[in-house]
Every structure is written in structure tokens, then in C-alpha cells.
Amino acid sequence: MRESQIMFIQYMTGLLILVFGSFHFLLISALAPTTDKVLYSYTYLNGIRTLAGGTLYYSTVKAVYTSLMWGSVFELLLTFLVFHIFNGFRVILSEQFPGSKAEKIITYSVLIAAMIVFIWGSRTIVLMLNGGL
């Protein structure tokens, strides 16, 4: 692939992350499927602080993950993010260590790291779509 094509995808994924990322931020605040829209809402059971609600409460997060729409938003966001971030890392590293041999090492190690993060993230999303393990 030509560098111009890669960088064009870099810019486009950047813009898409801006869109999908805003949804992601709204999801843990205004759009959260819960009545008490705070990140954490605590109660004190016998003097011990326990999480009782909020947008990061298990049932809230699970409701988000099991909906197909939000699941696909997450999956797309993850795809764009992984490309954008690891291509960015590749650019920074290849600037830092110029040379054809270093170039190869950087490209492949970044590719492997990107695959690991992508698979790990997708696993969570896909498994949670069916209600967890």
C-alpha cells in the first residue's frame, strides 16, 4: 500500500472515531439505560461502601453490551481505534528508528500487537452480545 493511502485511512478513521467516540462518551452519561446518570452511585451496607447503581453498574453496562446496535458501535469504534492508534505508533516508531531493517521489525510487531488488542476487545463484545460467558 502506498503511504498516501495508509494516511488517508488514518485521517478517515480519525474522523470516524470522533463520531463513534462521541457516542461512546454519551453512552456512559446522557444516553445510559439507567435512571441515575452518574458514573458511580454508592450505598453503605453495614458501613461498607458498595456500588449500587450508576452508568458503570454491572446491569447497566450489560444492558448496553447485549444490544446489537451498541455492540456494533463498539466493534466499529474498536476497529477504527486499533487502526488509528497502531498506525500512529508505527509512524512515531519508524521516525524514531529509521532504516529498512527497523522498519520491518516495527511494522510486524505493531501489526501483531494490533491483532492482539483487536481480538481481545472483539472477544468481549461478541461474548457479551450473548450475555457473557
Binding site for other proteins (CB under 8 A): 2-8, 11, 14-15, 17-18, 21, 25, 29-30, 36-41, 49-51, 54, 56-59, 61-62, 65, 78, 81-82, 85-86, 88-89, 91-92, 94-96, 98-99, 103, 117, 120-121, 123-124, 127-128, 132-133
User: At closest approach, how far in Å is the CB of 107 from other proteins?
Assistant: 10
Q: How far is the CB of 84 from other proteins (least distance, A)?
A: 9
Q: Helix or strand or coil: residue 108?
A: helix
Chain-centre distance for alpha carbon 60: 18
In the numeric block, which cell numbers belong to residue 21? Answer: 467516540
| Minimum gap (Å) between residue 78 Cβ and other proteins | 8
CB of 2 to other proteins, least distance (A): 6
In 10 A of CB 104, how many CB atoms?
Answer: 10
